[in-house]
Structure 1
Amino acid sequence: MKLEIQNHQKEAIKNMSKKLLLFVAISFSVVACNDKTAPEVKEMKTAYVDTSELMKEYIEAKDLEAKYKAQSEEKGRQLEAEINRFKQDAANFQSQAQANGQEWAQKRGAELQKREQQLGYAQQALAQQLQQESGKEMDSLVSGVKKFIKDYGKKNGYAYIYGTGDAASVLYAEDKYDITKEIIKALNDKYKASEKSEKKDEEKK
């Protein structure tokens, strides 16, 4: 008997990253600043953000991915041990079947098939659990970045900030309009500052 176990935990992490990039790329396709209180400018100020690069370099996004990768590995250890025991039992079954007779082989074979099915279900359940747990944090992160770019655009007098990346809405733009690095630096500075603030609050407790 063979057990083909796919690493659903790693797939969940990969899917999380892809989903995150796609959400951000689509959400930031066009960010228009229509604040009536904003000062009028003679020329329309526009820029674009490479959302793929942004999510690769945004520390909070990397921390989120690392967090769920670690959880996947931790929660998968016990399951991996059960899988290894199953593989050993399945290997022993091949050598014991002839010696113990057909009736024993049929009974034991049915038990092993049931275990194989249960392990498959357990892996799927673990992958779904990780996806559900990460989903809320992913949505919150995306919403936070969207709000940050919108506020950044208003503060710096942009009429439009376009998004480019996996779901590109800008087919061509001059490099001088690329503010990706500016956004990454601003987001990371804000995230680092919030982390320091949280650590100080924990130290006071």
Structure 2
Amino acid sequence: MNNSFKIFSALFILLFLIGGVGIYLLIPKIGYINSSKVFSEFKLKKELETDLKKLELAKQRDLDSLKAELEISYNELNNSAKKSEKNINEFKVAQQQYYIREKQYNENYQRAADEYTQQVWKQLNTFIKEFGKKKGYDFVLGANGAGEIMYADENDDLTEEVLEYCNKRYDGDIK
């Protein structure tokens, strides 16, 4: 009986270990990233941000030039002893053209900014998916403090690792 008790105990311990390992294997591997940080420090985002700044500067130069012309016209019109209907209408047309161009520039800028943001997220999502697969994660969650994840253990924070991976992948250092 002593022998069968030992065999039974060994089988019980073996089954217990197999069950424990099985349960461990069923637990998904989960990590999270600070999505705002990954977005803001991604190299593609920084490059596109530089392009947007160039676009903004070009827009501002053109608008400043038009505004200066408007101010000159306004001052000439105000200082003129004879204010003709034609001069007043020409000023109003120029003023209206300025506002139309300003609105167009703002709309174009916003459209470009939105397209750039979509382009950055599309690329990041691809790289983060690759990262998760390569590292064996079942889930990589995004946290930004706005309700996606309100708390997670810092040991599960993949932000720096994911950011490094994405930037290296973008540079072509990782295939």
TM-score by length of 1: 0.64
Code of the aligned partner of 2:133: K
Structure 1 residue 100 displacement after superposition? 1.2
Partner of 1:48: 32
- Structure 1 unaligned runs (5+)? 1-39, 195-205
**Partner of residue 54 from structure 2, selected from 70, 86, 110:** 70
Q: Which has the larger radius of gyration?
A: 2
| Aligned-partner Cα distance in 2 for 1:116–1:166 | 45
Match of 2:99 among 84, 95, 120: 120
* Residue 107 of structure 1: aligned partner: 86
Give me the CA root mean square deviation.
2.3
- When normalised by structure 2's length, the TM-score is 0.74
CA distance in 2, matches of 1:166, 1:123: 36
Aligned to 2:5: none
Q: Residue 50 of structure 1 contacts residue 165 of structure 1 at CA under 8 Å; is this kept in 2?
A: yes
Look up the SS of the partner of 2:149 in the other structure: coil
Aligned letter for 1:156?
K
Aligned length: 150
2:153 paired residue number: 174
Work out which of the residue numbers 155, 159, 166 in structure 2 matches 1:187. Answer: 166
Which of 61, 64, 78 is the aligned partner of 1:80?
64
Find the residue that maps to 2:32 and give its secondary structure.
strand
1:144, distance to aligned residue in structure 2 (A): 1.6
1:58 is aligned, of 42, 53, 61, to: 42
The 2-side partners of 1:143 and 1:41 are apart by 31
CA distance in 2 between counterparts of 1:166 and 1:141 reads: 20
Shift of 1:134: 5.1
User: Gaps (5+ residues) in structure 2?
Assistant: 1-23
- Deviation track 1:3-43 (CA, whole Å, cap 9, x = no partner) reads xxxxxxxxxxxxxxxxxxxxxxxxxxxxxxxxxxxxx9353
Q: What secondary structure, in the 3-state scheme, does the structure 2 residue paired with 1:73 have?
A: helix
Deviation at 1:63, TM superposition (A): 0.8
Matches within 5 A, 1:148-167: 148-165=127-144, 167=146
Q: What is the Cα deviation at residue 75 of structure 1? A: 4.2
